[in-house]
Amino acid sequence: MTAPAPPYETLAPVYDTVLGDRAFCRILRAFERIERRYGLVFRSAADVGCGTGTFVAHLRARGVHPVWGVDRSPHMLARALVKNDGNGARFLLQDLRTLRLPHQVALLTCQFDTLNYLLTPPELRTALAAFAHAVEPGGHAVFDMVTRTGEGGGQRVGEAWVRRVRVLRHGPRGTPYETHVQRAYTLAEIGAALAGSGLQLRGAHRVGETRPEAGTARVIFLARRP
């Protein structure tokens, strides 16, 4: 039997064209609302789960330095390197649960459901603790997650609600796709994971969507390292 391809191996070449560019607009609007509302100021940043590096390029264009892009997919990072060629951005091939930056940063972002790929509360706690270690005192972490709001938030597996996401399902005919497995967490589960992580929650705001999946809502969180 042929082993399944690593995540995003087949999608990386077409990701921006059929999904990434459109998704970036939503991500940027949500981030900028948080930035304005809380008056965030940062001189350094890391984008965890950076994908093809679009948000990294945005931060560099704003003059933020240094900016680290972190992802576990070498295929997506290869695209990010091309997109950010010559702008001074730096990239790391790492799993977010074992995140280790060379230097702490004032802002850490983790967007577009990246944390939902962690399927157990201990994994989520581990990742958030790694985020706290990567953020300098007084710095912030901004992350979004698909949260469970009702019984329609996926398929029940034990005590978890797991949803299968067909990535790029709306692409042109013949576009490759992959089915990814994510966990939809409740707000209580996310709060419990934050407790003791070294991050303190400052705010959580629902991100409006045109057609939210039944039983779920995307929420953007802002947490601060004291």
Per-residue model confidence as pLDDT tens digits over 130-186? 999 999 999 999 999 999 886 555 555 544 556 556 565 555 666 667 777 888 899
Q: Classify 193 as helix, strand or coil.
A: helix
Please state the separation of Cα 132 from the chain's center in Å. Answer: 15
User: What strand order describes the sheet that includes 200-206?
Assistant: 90-93, 67-71, 45-48, 105-110, 135-148, 216-224, 200-206
pLDDT of residue 8: 81
> What is the spatial distance between Cα 224 and Cα 137, in angstroms, rounded to a whole number?
8
90, β-bridge pairs: 68
DSSP string, 18-64: IIIHHHHHHHHHHHHHHHHHHT---S-EEEET-TTSHHHHHHHHTT-
219, β-bridge pairs: 145, 206
Kindly state the average pLDDT of the residues 59-88. Answer: 97
The better pLDDT of the pair 169, 219 is held by 219
Give 195's pLDDT tier (boundaries 50, 70, 90).
Answer: very high
Domain limits, the chain:
15-224
Say what the pTM is: 0.89
pLDDT of residue 202: 98
Per-residue model confidence as pLDDT tens digits over 33-71? 999 999 999 999 999 999 999 999 999 999 999 999 999
> What is the spatial distance between Cα 90 and Cα 46, in angstroms, rounded to a whole number?
9
Please state the separation of Cα 109 from the chain's center in Å. Answer: 7
CATH 3.30.70.141 fits 15-224, yes or no: no
Per-residue model confidence as pLDDT tens digits over 7-34? 788 888 888 887 778 889 999 999 999 9
Between 54-61 and 74-83, two packed helices, what is the crossing angle to 10 degrees?
A: 30
